[in-house]
Structure 1
């Protein structure tokens, strides 16, 4: 039986690509933050912390507990990282839009949902593809799949 690795809020993890890698951070599981820089050499945590966050999303933690995204260190979360973002949801049948914040769902317009992440739990391979697309300046095929459909 494979041992599942443990993690906690404030942990940093490394995401490997073919010729580079990037970093992410555990916020409050399943919410994770992903940094907007790639590297070819390991970076100290204080350097990683200075990078901007590309996005915050909910993820399936399998990549962390399996070691696919290894934990590389820990720093307590800065207060700026403690705020939980607002997400949007869309009913697949009625196509009505909602915002989702702190467990509360509220009806919303397209304008209110613009720029928000869809309330979804991402699989590791989809996050990796999204990050690679982000770094290449391309649109992620998975981002296109989670965008809302106009009501």
Structure 2
């Protein structure tokens, strides 16, 4: 019987995300159960991004990060608490069709135009994040269009 050691999640941890083509993407843990996925794709776990340039930031289930499936390769502390928050995200009420913006733990009503260009608030599983990194957009349909 093999046991997978569950890991403690820390802000600023950078995870190596194994991709189906043998390369590695990297994601940095933010507040609000979010992860920022770097634009940089490495050839190995050690080939980490050199700057904080992200392709997207989404919510992620904690069990993905605690499972040990993605290895923590480094911790990059945030310069201040404000930097650790993910950017605003759009929330669309499925019943009313109304729009809100979620930011720093608070929800504020918004218009469709105010939500334009924002990530739709959602919590993602590992395979959906990997699909998006690999260019498969079936998990990222923009309901604003």
TM-score bracket relative to the smaller structure: 0.7 to 0.9
Q: What is the aligned partner in structure 2 of residue 141 from structure 1?
A: 138
Q: Report how many residues are paired.
A: 141
More helix by share: 1
Alignment partner of 2:65: what SS? helix
Q: Of the candidates 100, 103, 109, which is equivalent to residue 102 of structure 2?
A: 100
Partner-residue secondary structure (3-state), 1:26:
strand
SS at match of 1:64: helix
| Conserved 8 A contact 1:35-1:55 | yes
How far does residue 103 in structure 1 lie from its aligned partner after superposition?
A: 2.6
Superposed CA deviations along residues 22-72 of structure 1, whole A, max 9, x for unmatched, are: 111112251111101212134465xx1415111111100222211111111
User: 1-side partners of 2:113 and 2:69: how far apart?
Assistant: 37
5+ residue gaps, structure 2, are: none
- Of residues 5-14 and 69-78 in structure 1, the stretch that sits farther from structure 2 once superposed is 69-78
State the SS of the aligned residue for 1:107: strand
- Give the RMSD, CA atoms, in angstroms: 2.1
In the superposition, the TM-score normalised over structure 1's length comes to 0.81
CA–CA distance in structure 2, aligned partners of residues 65 and 95 of structure 1: 35
TM-score normalised by L of structure 2? 0.84
- In structure 2, which of residues 14, 33, 37 is the aligned counterpart of residue 12 of structure 1? 14
2:64 corresponding residue in structure 1: 63
Matches for 1:1-150 after TM superposition, within 5 Å: 2-19=4-21, 20-43=23-46, 48-79=49-80, 81-133=83-135, 140-144=137-141, 147-148=142-143
Deviation at 1:131, TM superposition (A): 1.0
Q: Does the 8 Å CA contact 2:100/2:107 hold for their aligned counterparts? A: yes
- The 2-side partners of 1:107 and 1:5 are apart by 37
> In 2, are the aligned partners of 1:87 and 1:118 still within 8 Å (CA)?
yes
